[in-house]
Structure 1
Amino acid sequence: MKSCFSRTSPRLNVSLGLLTAAILTALPAQAQSAADRPITSGQRATAQRVASQGVPLSALAANAPDQYTVRSGDTLWGISGLFLKSPWRWPELWGMNLKSIRNPHLIYPGQKLYLERVGGRAFLRTSRSGDGAPSETIRVSPRTRVDVLGSGPLPTLQPHLIEPFLTESLIVDDESFERAPRIVALANKDRILVSKDDRAYVRGLEDAPLLKAPGLPTDFRVFRSAVPLKDPITEEILGYEAQYVGRANLVRGESEVDEELASGRSNDAKAPPEMPESGDSKPLMTAEEQQPTAPERKMMPVPATVDVVNSKEEMRPGDRLIPEPPRDFRSYVPHAPDIPIDARVVKVQGDAVRYAGQNQVVILNKGLRDGVENGHVLALLTTGSQMVDKTDDSRARIQLPDERNGLALVFRPFERTSYALVMEITSPVQVGDKLINPTGN
């Protein structure tokens, strides 16, 4: 339930932020000044170019409204799609109203947008032409106002659709997963699984023990059973998607202890050797040789200690710990790739899910090394099937053409793979379907 508060404001100049298209969002737990979010030089140049020209009417969506009031629950992708045929072409949308926009990242519920068509061009205004309403600043006299908390700027897309893939999912190579520290035992010997607030013991490799020291990570994600991701074309293993089970905090690092002390045995010097009996032909030992020798110390490893702070599933011995990545701000500024991209769907996310629909996540066989970036918009193609031409007496096999099927937005690229959200779709997506650069308006 949203709460309200009252306040008395002095005379203020209130800047009116309007629909821009700086389509950005961050992890829900974080806050960042929108003014600090970047606008690329290319995006600004495009906006400046269209600011004085508007956009051609052919770029508008078929049913673009003459006016629209931003509502709670809207997304920037959805609003952009109301006005333009291609929602990712936000610099044009921003440029239509460049003079009225001082902070292009803040678009709030309640703001009104007006679309004007003049001489074959389209312009987005903050107010109707000739109505005398200010487009940038209004003056507010002192009065009591009521603000609704929680009505922040609009996100690019619904955050809950991708949040689990930002905070939980991980794609790693096989070596990295195998070298990760592993749970070896539980503090409570009466249990075989651990969950939140339980304690467990962890070991790293001999050449990479899990230590606690300044500068080293103490927060970890816990994963299990990495599943190989295979390229549907080359059958190459692109990486391994690990199953997220929870989070743990490092309490104590690994160490060593003397094995005899650990087992409770005495570490006293060994008794001196017996003297030879009379008549024994063995020569007497020298004084140095009769001195007792210190036994060789044998060290035993002591596992690190971790406390489980969050669990999606109960953890067990064999689960792996990977350091928590830094919580960075992720921007989703939709844009077409600058280089040709020819990707394939590797996996549809979900248990026993074969097809993906709108607002579902898929994994692609292209990543950072292929030039894929956060915010890339790709056109989905349904792969044409092969069939026998029964109208031909030779019964020749033919390949049907690929058909445009929708759009997907890349929101988390890895080195060789990427997560993408299906934004628009006309028929279900499956493994092997293509993703290429979007074309046209």
Structure 2
Amino acid sequence: MTQRSLPQAAHTPSRPDLRAPARSAAAVAAAVSGLLVATLASSARAEPNFPISPQQRSTAQQVAEAGVPLSELSPNAPDSHTVKRGDTLWGVSGLFLKSPWRWPELWGMNLQQIRNPHLIFPGQMLYLDKSNGRARLRVGQVLSDSSGNARLSPRVREGNLDDAIATVPLHLLEPFFNEAVIFDSSDELLKAPRLVATQEGRVLLSRGETAYVRGELGGRRDWRLFREPKPLRDPATREVLGYEAQFVGTLALVREGAEGTGADGQPLVVPSTFTVNSIRQEAAVGDRLAPVPPRDFNNMAPHAPRQDVAGQLVSIYGDALSAGQNQIVALNRGSRDGLDRGAILALWRDGRTIRDMTLADKPTIKLPDERHGLLLVFRVFDRMSYALILNVKEPVKAGDRFTQP
């Protein structure tokens, strides 16, 4: 649906004057925030309900009253920023704040009135209002009148809600919501429907070809194909935390199979017919099926974990030995440890053990551990999680540590 522009005369009989910022900050906030609230209220029933935790809402309500201390701003925070296509809430927050995951402090003035704080669109100007030692982010445009005095012109954008900027780079994550799966046990796949024959008896199948499957389908049409589940072990305890299967591709049901009795009175099984829709590697007899899960990669709000957490990287997705920015890693902590989607974690590099060459006996010393990156948790299981490497200074490897940010 679209947002409708409000008549200028009905909502902005006069423009707020910013010649005395400390005196007029409240008026500016009321004018701009009021326009934004009124504009979005009509679409509140239809807009996506992106997650806002009670802690985030509480933080935002406190900030709405007082603003953010100037000391919490990024040293290079701009006075204003025009939102561009491709921007994310994470990236914009990082322009203004030292810690992007503290986004509720940046967008706090909206959370008291608006159910969804993420409706920021390309073309909008975000203005950093600094007064009385505090900072607040406003939506509008800073103008100057003929006398050179600054004033803030509220702007309401008309557009489709789908155009709102994402909180994080979802295009990097979307493929992995289908591909990256951790099963609780190896039996989970062994009991799943299986590919029993291929088109014309071929050894391997490619996209668009026909596959024949046996097993209980439960009326589902769309399936994923996996191969060779491998155990994922905790780097510290060596306990098996789950099983990661190799993603092969996706299949679509064409015709359900049947079981009956042949003309000779013997049991007759006709497998179900599938078409290979997409392929990561060629499919083969013996590969196992798992249902395509419901779409759950809607926008997520980056935030600090709900409780203190520390752990290690179990593996790099895809069997690589090391990983860098925008790659996926598996963690040895999950929902039972307090992790949820959107949690931000800090990556740590262990300090090297070296010899102190400044002393005659050259004793062994250990350099301090250094924080060198950030993770975004995007998929959570009971005992494990998958995370995207948002940024990192050096390649990461299995066994590296993470903590709350």
Q: Kindly indicate whether residue 237 of structure 2 is the aligned counterpart of residue 234 of structure 1.
A: yes
Distance between the aligned counterparts of 2:343 and 2:302, measured in 1? 6
Q: What's the offset of the Cα at 1:49?
A: 1.0
Q: Kindly indicate whether residue 340 of structure 2 is the aligned counterpart of residue 321 of structure 1.
A: no
Distance between the aligned counterparts of 2:161 and 2:112, measured in 1? 28
Aligned positions of 1:144-293 closer than 5 A: 152-172=163-183, 173-189=185-201, 191-204=202-215, 210-211=216-217, 216-258=219-261, 261=263, 265=264
The structure-2 alpha-carbon separation of the partners of 1:248 and 1:59, relative to structure 1 and needing over 3 Å to count, comes to: same
Distance between the aligned counterparts of 1:11 and 1:51, measured in 2? 25
Find the partner of 1:74 among 75, 82, 87: 87
Contact 2:226–2:288 under 8 Å retained in 1: yes
- Identity over aligned pairs, percent: 47
Find the partner of 1:111 among 124, 134, 141: 124
- Aligned equivalent of 2:397: 430
Distance between the aligned counterparts of 2:228 and 2:196, measured in 1? 15
Q: Could you list the per-position Cα deviations for residues 115-142 of structure 1 after superposition, in whole angstroms to 9, with x for gaps in the alignment?
A: 132232112223449745443769xxxx
Contact 1:17–1:106 under 8 Å retained in 2: no
Contact 1:34–1:106 under 8 Å retained in 2: no
Contact 2:192–2:288 under 8 Å retained in 1: yes
Distance between the aligned counterparts of 2:85 and 2:151, measured in 1? 28
The structure-2 alpha-carbon separation of the partners of 1:102 and 1:245, relative to structure 1 and needing over 3 Å to count, comes to: closer
Q: Could you list the per-position Cα deviations for residues 258-285 of structure 1 after superposition, in whole angstroms to 9, with x for gaps in the alignment?
A: 36x2xxx5xxxxxxxxxxxxxxxxxxxx
The structure-2 alpha-carbon separation of the partners of 1:241 and 1:13, relative to structure 1 and needing over 3 Å to count, comes to: farther
The structure-2 alpha-carbon separation of the partners of 1:17 and 1:84, relative to structure 1 and needing over 3 Å to count, comes to: same
Distance between the aligned counterparts of 1:423 and 1:408, measured in 2? 6
Contact 1:211–1:252 under 8 Å retained in 2: no
- Aligned equivalent of 2:41: none
Distance between the aligned counterparts of 2:115 and 2:33, measured in 1? 7
The structure-2 alpha-carbon separation of the partners of 1:415 and 1:131, relative to structure 1 and needing over 3 Å to count, comes to: same
Q: What's the offset of the Cα at 1:419?
A: 1.2
The structure-2 alpha-carbon separation of the partners of 1:78 and 1:199, relative to structure 1 and needing over 3 Å to count, comes to: same
Distance between the aligned counterparts of 2:214 and 2:162, measured in 1? 47
Q: Kindly indicate whether residue 71 of structure 2 is the aligned counterpart of residue 58 of structure 1.
A: yes
The structure-2 alpha-carbon separation of the partners of 1:46 and 1:415, relative to structure 1 and needing over 3 Å to count, comes to: same
Distance between the aligned counterparts of 2:128 and 2:134, measured in 1? 11
Contact 1:108–1:151 under 8 Å retained in 2: no
Cα RMSD (Å): 3.3
Provide the secondary structure at the position in 1 that maps to 2:284: coil
Q: Could you list the per-position Cα deviations for residues 5-61 of structure 1 after superposition, in whole angstroms to 9, with x for gaps in the alignment?
A: xxxx9985489899x9xxxxxxxxxxx953533433332222121112111111100
Q: What's the offset of the Cα at 1:92?
A: 0.5
Aligned positions of 1:307-386 closer than 5 A: 307-350=275-318, 353-386=320-353
Deviates most, 337-346 or 323-332: 323-332
Q: What's the offset of the Cα at 1:393?
A: 6.5
The one-letter amino acid paired with 1:177 is: L
- Aligned equivalent of 1:6: none
The one-letter amino acid paired with 2:197 is: A
Q: Could you list the per-position Cα deviations for residues 282-303 of structure 1 after superposition, in whole angstroms to 9, with x for gaps in the alignment?
A: xxxxxxxxxxxxxxx6535443
The count of aligned residue pairs is 365
Q: What's the offset of the Cα at 1:148?
A: 9.3
The structure-2 alpha-carbon separation of the partners of 1:395 and 1:424, relative to structure 1 and needing over 3 Å to count, comes to: same
- Aligned equivalent of 1:289: none
Which structure has more RCO (C-alpha within 8 Å, separation ≥ 6)?
A: 1
Distance between the aligned counterparts of 1:137 and 1:308, measured in 2? 47
Contact 2:89–2:167 under 8 Å retained in 1: yes
Provide the secondary structure at the position in 1 that maps to 2:200: coil
The one-letter amino acid paired with 2:99 is: S
Distance between the aligned counterparts of 1:335 and 1:51, measured in 2? 18
Larger radius of gyration: 1
Provide the secondary structure at the position in 2 that maps to 1:123: strand
**TM superposition score normalised by structure 2:** 0.79
Provide the secondary structure at the position in 2 that maps to 1:89: helix
Provide the secondary structure at the position in 2 that maps to 1:161: helix
Q: What's the offset of the Cα at 1:345?
A: 1.0
Q: What's the offset of the Cα at 1:91?
A: 1.0
